[in-house]
Amino acid sequence: MLLTAGIGEADDIARARETSQGFGRFVRSLVGLDRAAVSETFGEFLAGGTATAAQIEFINMVIEHLTDQGIMEPGLLYEPPFASVAPTGPEHLIDENKVTRLFTKIKAINDSAVA
């Protein structure tokens, strides 16, 4: 489709696929994700009205990143800007069970870009 539209050469597309670890991830990095869909995916972390302000801010940062970038390497949760809210990572804010679910959800979103 891109070649037909005259957007780049075959080598450019192959390079983008390789750099992004797949063409789906490349496209996702360009267009991001629907905010409502990402918010729904992470809704369990904010449901019930028991989340602290820091937890809400952290999850909203994850949602924002995925909305803008379409994918997320889980290691980013330990780096700025996330570290400004959770200096030692998500374990600083949420229990181990939820941290595991957070990583599982991020991995599922990333994997869906490859499919």
State how many domains the chain has: 2
> Residue 10: which pLDDT band, with cuts at 50, 70 and 90?
confident
**Residue 103 pLDDT exceeds 60:** yes
pLDDT in tens, 43-95: 998 887 789 999 999 999 999 999 999 999 999 999 999 999 999 999 999 99
Q: Is 24 in the same domain as 51?
A: no
The answer to whether residue 19 scores a pLDDT higher than 70 is no
Note whether 42 and 59 are same-domain residues: yes
Do 2 and 57 fall within a single domain? no
Domain hosting 15: range is 1-31
Contacts of 101 (CB under 8 A, 6+ apart): 44
pLDDT of residue 47: 84
Pair (44, 20) in one structural domain: no
Q: Encode burial over 41-62: b for 16+ CB neighbours within 10 A, e otherwise.
A: bbeebeeeeebeeebeebbebb
pLDDT at site 30 = 76
Domain check: are 19 and 42 in the same one? no
